[in-house]
Amino acid sequence: MTLGDAPPPSPSPAGGGGNHSAPLLEVRNLRVEFPTRRGTLVAVDDVSFTISSGEVLGVVGESGAGKSLTGMAIIGLLEAPGRIAAGQILLEGTRIDDLAPDAMRRIRGRHIGAIFQDPLTSLDPLYTIGRQITETIVAHLPVSRSEARERTITLLAEVGIPAPEWRMDHYPHQFSGGMRQRVVIALALCAEPKLIIADEPTTALDVSTQAQIIRLLQRLSQQHGTAVMLITHDMGVIAETAHRVAVMYAGRIVEIGAARAVIQAPRHPYTAGLMRSIPRVGASAPRLAQIDGAMPRLAAIPPGCAFHPRCPQRFELCDSARPQLFESDDRRTACWLYSDAPTG
């Protein structure tokens, strides 16, 4: 069973993967805070981006960058005491960040699907996978149970589960890790959502399985026209799947643009440092280029540009003034080097 059918996406020069008119998802100035007894921690700070229908937006960053929390905020699964302190999230023009829990729950199942990292805990171990998928379909779409069953079989075949009519009566523990993640993808797609939030969907899988799942996600999003917000720390996954990518650091977006452009010609010093520190087969350098220091803890984010203490190209402006995202050639970079300000 091979999945060599779909070639990797060739992102158009404009960087979009789909329809450019009204964006499907719009996040405006999102701010997620955690009140603690020692003060309020800002985990996501003034984050704005859009996802168009059918597009795959990669959100990449290291641990603590706030990418998972952004995804959780969008889907309405932020765990207390975390809360959305400011900003707006709009799905097809309507605000979803201020909905009552019940209304959000309906949106969550029907319009936004989710894929999480651990396929073992994403599925209920007590129900067969067929039942979990048909229940979800019936709950969100106006179809009969037998119709739902038919759709389940088709969907399972699409995600690459062999002999779906028979395997749909199996329990999650009877599947291997990679197969389980395929089931999770099927579950996310079954209510025909317009947007899927995938949080590290391949991290817990073997390298060869990762490659298969990445291709599957990409193929399905193309075929169903589903937009995907792909959250990961792995630039490789982004390179294979995403049309556009947003790089996050210390809760802020530092660079956002077409995936190919950002990966091959990164502008922000952090993105550049990150790309240089990724080991590659066949590289000849004895030492990997490294960024000294570490991402600041939420309680100790430096003033001005959050990256300035580690930046090889910093100058005086950087430690006092926080840069916004400066736009040029369809790429936005939060760095004073790319503004019109004198760089000293």
Partner 1 sequence: MRQPAEVARALVALQGVGRDFDVSKPWLNRVVERAPRQLLTAVDDFSLEVRSGETVALVGESGCGKSTVARLIVGLYPPSRGRIEFDGAPQAAPASGIWSAGVRRRMQMIFQDPYASLNPRWRVMDIVAEPLRVQGSLTRRADLQARVSELLAQVGLSAADGEKYPHEFSGGQRQRISIARALSSTPEFLICDEPTSALDVSVQAQILNLMKELQERLRLTYLFISHNLAVVSQMATRVGVMYLGRLVELADAPTLFSRPRHPYTRMLLDAIPDLDMSGGPRTPVAGEVANPLAPPAGCTFHPRCPLADQRCRAERPKLSPAQGALVACHAVEEERG
Tell me how far apart the alpha carbons of residues 226 and 200 are, in angstroms, rounded to a whole number: 18
Tell me how far apart the alpha carbons of residues 237 and 132 are, in angstroms, rounded to a whole number: 28
Tell me how far apart the alpha carbons of residues 253 and 249 are, in angstroms, rounded to a whole number: 6
Q: Token pair for residue 326? A: 């400066």
Would you say how long the chain is, in residues? Answer: 344
We find the least distance from the C-beta atom of residue 161 to partner 1, in angstroms, to be 12
We find the least distance from the C-beta atom of residue 244 to partner 1, in angstroms, to be 14
Does 291 sit near partner 1 (CB under 8 A)?
A: yes
Site for partner 1 in 208-247 (CB under 8 A): 208-212, 214-215, 233-237, 239-240
Sequence letter at residue 210: Q
What angle, rounded to 10 degrees, do the helices at 145-158 and 177-189 form? 130
Tell me how far apart the alpha carbons of residues 288 and 111 are, in angstroms, rounded to a whole number: 43
Does 207 sit near partner 1 (CB under 8 A)?
A: yes
Task: Candidates 35-43, 66-74, 96-104, 291-299: pick the segment binding partner 1 (CB under 8 A).
Answer: 291-299
Burial group, residue 146, by CB count within 10 angstroms (0-12, 13-18, 19+): exposed
Choose which of 39, 101, 279, 342 interacts with partner 1 (CB under 8 A).
Answer: 279
Burial group, residue 71, by CB count within 10 angstroms (0-12, 13-18, 19+): buried
Does 282 sit near partner 1 (CB under 8 A)?
A: yes
Task: Candidates 68-76, 163-171, 184-192, 270-278: pick the segment binding partner 1 (CB under 8 A).
Answer: 270-278
Write the binding mask 6 to 45 for partner 1: x where contact by CB under 8 A, - elsewhere: -xx-x-----------------------------------
Does 174 sit near partner 1 (CB under 8 A)?
A: no
Q: Which is nearer to partner 1, 3 or 22 (CB)?
A: 3
Q: Which is nearer to partner 1, 98 or 206 (CB)?
A: 206
Task: Candidates 27-35, 105-113, 145-153, 289-297: pick the segment binding partner 1 (CB under 8 A).
Answer: 289-297
What angle, rounded to 10 degrees, do the helices at 129-140 and 177-189 form? 10
Does 179 sit near partner 1 (CB under 8 A)?
A: yes
Q: Token pair for residue 293? A: 């220091």
Binding region for partner 1 (CB under 8 A): 1-4, 7-8, 10, 62-63, 176-179, 206-212, 214-215, 233-237, 239-240, 260, 263-264, 273-275, 277-283, 286-292, 294-295
